[in-house]
Structure 1
């Protein structure tokens, strides 16, 4: 009997154990279901926001130009005899950039090309540009105006002297005119001396007769001498130092870097002799129309040299090219090492577009939602409950948005805003 009881007890225990492992389908589903969703929140922050355009651009030297020299006035072949620049060298204002037929070609800064030879007596806007340039370089041209006078000629002489060359000679006919006028002055002086001697002799003669004839001869001789002297002065003025068209080239701005040389010593000049770019390095970034609308010339920017060094820069200009826009950014200053490093490089450019005035309340953009009235709002979790806080949205940048609570709503730094579930 005892054995039967023991067996029954054991069976009851096994059944109870087995029963504990069995559950209804509903219980099983409840046990394996995912946990109840809870809100994902982040704190409201107080931070300064800055919207910016970040892009990569290629470096170049600004404003490439082709340098042409007008050689049609030369009486000899336009053979290059020296001073051929090397690629990478710099064209400096007032310095010789090439030598043709033994004569210098001096580079000057100006927008009006050298289209004719200038000389005393020349007038026009090209003379004004020349005198402005001479004055800027420290060679006094007298009154800066549109007239090439003796002062201009002396300043041109100083320009050539500084460049290491003899000043240009006037045309042979003008020099011969000076010689002829000089002889005319000598002849007039001799005639005056003879007339004065005749008058003196007549006055010293017996009876002291009428000397009106002799006095008239002296008067005529004096007038002739004055005319001869005036003719000499005019001839000397015209024979002042000229500026041949083949010995000066005006380039819009200087200095510039020589990018390509198209002539060699012993060769003949025919058209473009070299191409030169600006001596200042720039970075050109291509942007679309929407980005272009956010940018304008004069905006500050920065160039990332790749080693953590940021170089301050400025947006110089924005130009349209086909369906894109070129944003040209110029560094404010570069060391020689930085300039060499950036040559023909691809550079990261950052242009701040807008920023907040100091720190503001900011939330992730993901925390914003639209209400039934179309306004923006954030969900704030307080004491386990979600409150809808209407906000006005300001600047957005780097995934954050500036928010200001509307009306009587309260939102402070540290409040937990819902960004997901």
Structure 2
């Protein structure tokens, strides 16, 4: 081939460009025809398989009838409650004190003065006088009730210190290695409502036995919640709550005491600012005590922060759908896309309470068991 033949003339080059253009147009046309045929189901690749047609939403969820519960979490403190000073009227010198954290029950020694025990008994009336045969009063009944609980029999629990009571007291004194006189000295007994836990030693051995020697709390753990007056409406005696523990578990609780409102302070007065993530923090005006019946469920936990959940609102046996199923309608309000064998339709609904990812709904034609569309 000559050099002239290897170089196309301008005429030949134009002809080849038109051919290429024509072939490109044919290819494009073939592609369009094939696509159209596939769309119309007239053949082409994949024409033997039916084409999926979307007749409803990507996913569906049932319309359920259930109880919706909205809970609120407030900050609390697990512990043994406020410490109370223990005042002794004994003479002499302190020769023994219980360890901090020790639990003292009815009949146990709270301390020793001159090596003689000062005993804890249960009651609300303080020991304000010595008790001897012939004494009458409610303090006698309280003391006799304790003797009976400790196992000393043969006495009648009433308001009269009888000869039988004297005999029981002598047996009690002998068991405590005290002088057997039959007379209960005023300094020998300290009353508390129930078992106590020693919180702090206020004196050392060798100190005078008269005065405030210890502080104590109850022996049962409880939760204290400090709340502002505006957020304490939930706290009614007997209200059930759930206490979330730092160990990851939870335990049931019951509101047992609601304190009287107290004047709140400011941050400048030493009060902490409120934490918006944990209602119940900040300036406290009301103290709520929550009793924990299952003390074993608390394990070895001592004083520690906890979260307290209470039911703020409840709607029983209402129709609900997932929150994601709600549609904002162009004309205003909400709707849901009800799906079924006949296809999908939009039903206008009224939205009520929201809780746990679901919403209360009501609307004409809406019933339990229907399915509604939700996005995937």
By the TM > 0.5 criterion, same fold?
yes
Deviation per CA, 1:237-281: give whole Å up to 9, x if none: xxxx21111111111x22111001123322212421111101011
Per-residue deviation, residues 303-334 of structure 1 (Å, max 9, x unmatched): 44445433333333333453544333333223
Contact kept? 1:45, 1:413, Cα under 8 Å:
yes
Matched, 1:131 2:144: yes
Matches within 5 A, 1:56-71: 56-71=75-90
CA distance in 2, matches of 1:265, 1:41: 76
Q: Does 2:166 match 1:153?
A: yes
Higher alpha-carbon deviation: 383-392 or 100-109? 383-392
1:397 alignment partner in structure 2: 355
Matched ranges for 1:323-402 at <5 A: 324=284, 325-335=286-296, 338-340=298-300, 342-352=301-311, 361-364=320-323, 367=326, 377-380=334-337, 387-391=346-350, 393=352, 395-402=353-360
Q: C-alpha displacement at 1:51, in angstroms?
A: 2.5
Contact preservation (8 Å) 1:263, 1:269: no
**Scaled by the length of structure 1, what TM-score is found?**
0.62
Kept after mapping to 1: 8 A contact 2:319/2:367: no
Give the Cα–Cα distance (whole angstroms) in 1 for the partners of residues 237 and 329 of structure 2: 36
Normalised by the length of structure 2, the TM-score is 0.68
Whole-angstrom CA distance in 2 between matches of 1:142 and 1:6: 135
Question: Is the contact between residue 53 and residue 352 of structure 1 (CA under 8 Å) also seen in structure 2?
Answer: yes
1:409 aligned to 2:365? yes
Matches within 5 A, 1:19-30: none
Runs of 5+ unmatched residues, structure 2:
1-7, 23-55, 265-282
Q: Which residue of 2 aligns with 1:80?
A: 94
Q: Size of the alignment, in residue pairs?
A: 315
Q: Compared with structure 1, are the counterparts of its residues 93 and 418 closer, same or farther at alpha carbon in structure 2 (3 Å cutoff)? A: same
In 2 relative to 1, CA 295–81 (structure 1 residues): closer, same or farther, beyond 3 Å?
closer
Counterpart Cα distance in 2 of 1:144 and 1:165: 23
What CA deviation, in whole Å up to 9, does each residue of 1:388-420 have, x standing for no partner? 433473x532242233x34x422444633579x
Q: Is it true that 1:272 corresponds to 2:212 in the alignment?
A: yes
1:143 and 1:52, CA in 2 relative to 1: closer, same or farther beyond 3 A? same
Distance 1:141 1:64 in 2: 37
Counterpart Cα distance in 2 of 1:243 and 1:371: 86
| Structure 2 counterpart SS, 1:416 | strand
For 1:159 and 1:165, locate their aligned partners in 2 and report how far apart those are by CA, in whole Å: 9
8 A Cα contact 2:325 2:373, kept in partner: no
RMSD: 4.0
Answer 1 or 2: which has greater helix percent: 1
Q: What's the secondary structure of 1:53's corresponding residue?
A: strand
Return the alpha-carbon distance in structure 2 between the equivalents of residues 409 and 81 of structure 1.
83
Q: What's the CA shift for 1:347? A: 2.5
Please state whether the residue corresponding to 1:57 is helix, strand or coil.
strand
Measure, in 2, the Cα distance between the counterparts of 1:50 and 1:384. 33
User: 1:113 & 1:347 partners in 2: Cα distance?
Assistant: 35
Larger Rg over CA atoms: 1
Match 1:43 to one of 61, 73, 84 = 61
Tell whether the 8 Å contact from 1:134 to 1:141 is kept in structure 2 after alignment.
Answer: no
Q: Is contact 1:79–1:266 with CA below 8 Å preserved after alignment?
A: yes
- 122-131 vs 310-319, which deviates more? 310-319
Instruction: Provide, for residues 354-379 of structure 1, a one-character-per-residue CA deviation record: whole Å limited to 9, x for no partner.
Output: 6566795333188387999x9x7533
Tell whether 2:50 aligns with 1:91.
Answer: no
Match of 1:292 in 2: 232
Cα drift, residue 351 of structure 1: 3.5
Alignment CA distance shift 1:366-1:416 (3 Å): closer
Question: Structure 1 pair 271/414, CA: closer, same or farther in 2 (3 Å)?
Answer: same
Relative to 1, partners in 2 of residues 1:141 and 1:131: Cα closer, same or farther, differing over 3 Å? farther
| 4+ long deviations beyond 6 Å | 10-16, 38-42, 368-372
The one of 249, 260, 280 aligned to 2:190 = 249
Corresponding residue SS for 1:121: coil
On the 8 A contact 1:315/1:330 being kept in 2, the answer is: yes
Alpha carbons of 1:400 and 1:368: their partners in 2 closer, same or farther (altered >3 Å)?
farther
Aligned-residue offset at 1:137 = 3.0
